[in-house]
Amino acid sequence: MNIILFGPPGAGKGTQAKRLQKSRGLIQLSTGDMLRAAVAAGTEYGKKAKEIMEKGELVPDEVVINIISDRLEEDDVKNAPGVIFDGFPRTVAQAEALDKMLAEKGMKLDAVIVLDVDDDALVERITGRFTCAKCGKGYHEKFERPKVEGVCDECGSTEFTRRADDNEETVRQRLEAYHAQTAPLIEYYEKAGIVKRVDGMASIDEVTRQIEQVLDSLS
Ligand code: AMP
């Protein structure tokens, strides 16, 4: 089963993808995570992507298309029961490239799950978030603090990181890019008849429940 988790930055795509990875063995393919890893490793395209990401703009289509195409060839992905695209595709050109790639590999998309959220909530959600530096568990200053202050619930680490692009100015630019370039994809997938909507303003557990319900209806 292959799905796209779709929605603006801060909608909860990454949080939900990690939960589905655990519950169903699907593999999360986050182009944002892959680009951040390339930035951290200082690779050639990482250097180019860094500036663009810090401005909140989209990196060129061919860069992310190549990253995804390479990743789909790796054994863990090939052997998994399916994948969750998180943050990809973000433009019509990327969606068309994905269709082509999947057809070539004999794969198909089962659903595009749209997390419906109000724009107003997103800036607060994003600017408050932080992550365990060791295991990657996500937290939020207001909505999901660690049970013991300064200690990760999952792995006990005391180091946390924040994304360089999670500041208010960049978030506004990312939202603009979403509305101009990415939101039109909903119509693209409506035509394919695979769009399913969930209430992204509900609690994290409730959103998971709604997504699981959609996935159960597919299998
Ligand atoms: P994300 O972690 O999905 O919020 O992505 C962080 C940043 O990485 C975005 O603001 C873009 O600059 C870049 N990025 C991630 N995925 C894509 C994509 N599919 N197309 C273009 N740029 C992307």
The residue-averaged pLDDT of 186-204 equals 96
For residue 114, what is the enclosing H or E element? Answer: strand 111-116
Ligand 1 centre and the CA of 32: distance in Å? 5
> Between the CA of residue 202 and those of 55, 117, 145, what are the distances in Å?
30, 9, 18
Ligand 1 contacts CB of residue 13 (under 6 A): no
d(CA 11, CA 200): 6
**Can you tell me which atom of ligand 1 is nearest the CA of 53?**
12
d(CA 216, CA 99): 23
Which one, of 39, 13, 205, lies nearest residue 112 by Cα? 13
Among 36, 129, 137, 196, the active-site one is: 129
**Can you tell me which atom of ligand 1 is nearest the CA of 89?**
19
Other beta carbons within 10 angstroms of residue 25's beta carbon come to 11
**pTM of the shown model:** 0.94
Whether the pLDDT of residue 219 is over 80: the answer is no
Which one, of 95, 101, 104, 115, lies nearest residue 192 by Cα? 95
What share of the chain has pLDDT > 70, as a percent? 100
Tell me if residue 90 is catalytic: yes
Ligand 1 contacts CB of residue 182 (under 6 A): no
Which pLDDT value is given to residue 165? 95
Q: Each residue of 39-93: pLDDT tens digit?
A: 999 998 899 899 999 999 999 999 999 999 999 999 999 999 999 999 999 999 9
Tell me if residue 19 is catalytic: no
Tell me if residue 125 is catalytic: no
| 65 CB-near residues (< 8 Å, 6+ apart) | 94, 97, 98, 101
Whether the pLDDT of residue 127 is over 80: the answer is yes
Tell me if residue 36 is catalytic: no
Whether the pLDDT of residue 139 is over 90: the answer is yes
Ligand 1 contacts CB of residue 174 (under 6 A): yes
**Can you tell me which atom of ligand 1 is nearest the CA of 94?**
19
Ligand 1 contacts CB of residue 53 (under 6 A): yes
Ligand 1 contacts CB of residue 9 (under 6 A): yes
What is the best residue among 58, 171, 173, 175 to mutate for testing ligand 1's pocket, by most ligand atoms within 8 Å of CB? 58
CB 156 within 8 A of CB 128: no
What share of the chain has pLDDT > 90, as a percent? 96
**Residues found in the chain:** 219
Q: Each residue of 158-189: pLDDT tens digit?
A: 999 999 999 999 999 999 999 999 999 999 99
The least confident of 44-48, 105-109, 139-143 is: 44-48
Tell me if residue 197 is catalytic: no
pLDDT-based confidence at 126, cuts 50/70/90?
very high
> Between the CA of residue 198 and those of 112, 147, 211, 215, what are the distances in Å?
11, 28, 7, 12
CA 57 to chain centre: 16
Among 19, 36, 50, 90, the active-site one is: 90
The residue-averaged pLDDT of 97-120 equals 95
Question: What does DSSP say about strands 129-132 and 160-161: parallel, antiparallel, or unpaired?
Answer: antiparallel
Whether the pLDDT of residue 119 is over 90: the answer is no
Which pLDDT value is given to residue 17? 97
Mean pLDDT of the chain: 96
> CA torsion angle for 75, 77, 79, 80 (degrees, to 10)?
160
pLDDT-based confidence at 212, cuts 50/70/90?
very high
